[in-house]
């Protein structure tokens, strides 16, 4: 087994963990194999992480916190736009650039969350994001209806859930492919434009 400083060992665990989780998924990654790939014993591993899922969490929790902050920050922005009565601005609070930046700074973590998280507490990540998107969208649209900003029939809760599911799934699909930033920019811009146009049509704005 390799020897080194605490920091060296920690980095080897991180490097091997990311590689094996991406290749095999969480459930099929064996801790002994991970440690062997890192050149350490399982005893050494436990001086850095208390269990295998803690290592997985190390990789993905920042991406989870990041998107939760995006939604938290969007709520007051939505309320302000509704107050001003500009529904088109409401649909652009989190635009193509913000989505692209989020995916790019969390690229590997999103791959882990979307296709490698079975067996962890993160396997509902996509559904959780869809629920957040549905909730904030419904709140904003119901408020515009209450204020008389739009007069059309608003989507029901299940309709909004299905729309948000299609949108979020399409956006996050970019993280599952090894696209360059330029390719990803083009893809995200087209997806956002497609769903934005549909939203304008649906809401009559």
pLDDT tens track of the chain, all 205 residues?
555 699 999 999 999 999 999 999 999 999 999 999 999 999 999 999 999 999 999 999 999 999 999 888 888 888 787 777 777 777 676 677 788 889 989 999 999 999 999 999 999 999 999 999 999 888 888 888 777 877 778 889 999 999 999 999 999 998 898 888 899 999 988 998 899 888 888 877 7
Distance CA 67, CA 77 (A): 15
Is the distance from CB of 171 to CB of 188 less than 8 angstroms? yes
Alpha carbon of 9 to those of 34, 59, 91, 101: distances in Å? 13, 16, 47, 31
DSSP summary character for residue 94? S
Distance CA 45, CA 157 (A): 46
Q: Say what the pLDDT of residue 2 is.
A: 52
Give the torsion sign (CA, 31, 32, 37, 43). positive
């Amino acid at each position: 087994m390799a020897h080194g400083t605490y920091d060296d060992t920690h980095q080897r665990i991180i490097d091997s963990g990311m590689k094996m989780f991406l290749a095999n998924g969480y459930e099929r990654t064996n801790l002994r194999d991970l440690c062997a790939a890192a050149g350490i014993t399982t005893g050494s591993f436990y001086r850095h992480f208390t269990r295998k899922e803690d290592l997985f969490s190390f990789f993905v929790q920042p991406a989870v916190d990041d998107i939760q902050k995006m939604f938290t920050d969007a709520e007051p922005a939505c309320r302000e736009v509704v107050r001003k009565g500009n529904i088109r601005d409401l649909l652009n609070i989190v635009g193509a650039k913000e989505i692209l930046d989020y995916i790019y700074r969390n690229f590997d973590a999103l791959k882990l969350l979307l296709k490698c998280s079975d067996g962890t507490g993160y396997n509902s990540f996509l559904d959780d994001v869809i629920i957040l998107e549905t909730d904030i969208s419904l709140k904003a649209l119901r408020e515009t209806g209450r204020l008389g900003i739009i007069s059309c029939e608003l989507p029901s809760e299940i309709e909004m859930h299905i729309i948000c599911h299609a949108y979020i799934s399409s956006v996050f699909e970019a993280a599952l492919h090894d696209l360059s930033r330029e390719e990803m920019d083009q893809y995200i811009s087209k997806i956002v434009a497609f769903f934005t146009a549909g939203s304008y049509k649906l809401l009559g704005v």
